[in-house]
Amino acid sequence: MHNADHPLFETQDLGVEYPARRGSDAVIGLTGINIQWRRGETLGLVGGSGSGKTTLGRTLLGLQQPTAGGVLYRQQPLSRALATRSFRREVQMIFQDPYQSLNPRRTVGEQVTEALDVHRIGRTGVERTALAVAAMEQSGLAPADRYWHCYPHQLSGGQRQRVVIAAALALGPQALVCDEPVSALDVSVRSQVLQVLDRLRTDHGISLLFITHDVGLAWAMCDRLAVLNQGKLIEYGTTESVLGNPQEPYTRALLAAAPQPPRRN
């Protein structure tokens, strides 16, 4: 099922060091990271707080400059991809807190179509509206007209995260970096939002980078896992091999700290 061709993203001895500031030393964000994020897969990025997960996600998107090594996107240096108009459309990020990504003063419909305007997708307003409606309904905001005129504060946290997902999906992305996408949500809506994300992969072939500190979620969602600890890659392989037979004490400790024994459903 997975395309065995070249990976979508590849890091080569990637390092990020945050510069020293007055009164504090430089901080190692990442060091010596070599991973591949393949097309159509969900790659999990697991690790404790401060292990470098967000730093890695931001670096893949070009939001953070590497200080060592580099990133390839489709086998080209990331700098080349960043110079194109299409990269921002092809690879997008979903954050823990949907409020961070939404404008409180714009309706849902405005925000989802705005993304299309910015990227000049769709020839007419009618076409853009149709694309926005489809993306909203695929994200579980159905029927779309029920939500179209709502402002973010009129929605639940789960619905807001679906709006963010719809705005991303409308652009026809290749890949989504999801940074703790359900951590801020009530448990009752988490599994629905996770299902929406999982369907992006199965129905649209979108590659997911799923960042989480929750080993149970990683087990349920991911094909392969990269475990980070203090900026270093300490385990990397299929989810079954990493969690079924953890080699590192750190991974065993993460598993032991999981609220329930992770289980695939």
Omega of the bond leading into 143 within 30 degrees of 0 (cis): yes
Q: Would you say 29 or 246 has its CB closer to Mg ion?
A: 29
By the rule CB under 6 A, 29 interacts with ligand ATP: yes
DSSP conformation class of 66: -
Residue range at the interface with ligand ATP (CB under 6 A); choices 4-12, 44-52, 140-148, 162-170: 44-52
Q: Would you say 65 or 195 has its CB closer to ligand ATP?
A: 65
Binding partner of 52, given Mg ion, ligand ATP, none, CB within 5-8 angstroms per partner class:
ligand ATP
Find the helix packing angle between 125-138 and 108-118, rounded to 10°.
120
Report the 3 state secondary structure along 35-61: CEECCCCEEEEECCCCCCHHHHHHHHC
Q: Would you say 184 or 189 has its CB closer to ligand ATP?
A: 184
| H-type alpha helices, 27-156 | 53-60, 78-82, 87-90, 98-101, 108-118, 125-138
Binding mask 177-216 for ligand ATP (x = CB under 6 A): ------------------------------------x---
Tokens of 17: 């060091």
Q: Would you say 89 or 224 has its CB closer to ligand ATP?
A: 224
Question: H or E segment at 217?
Answer: helix 215-221
Return residues touching Mg ion (CB under 5 A).
Answer: 54
Return residues touching ligand ATP (CB under 6 A).
Answer: 18, 27, 29, 47, 49-55, 213
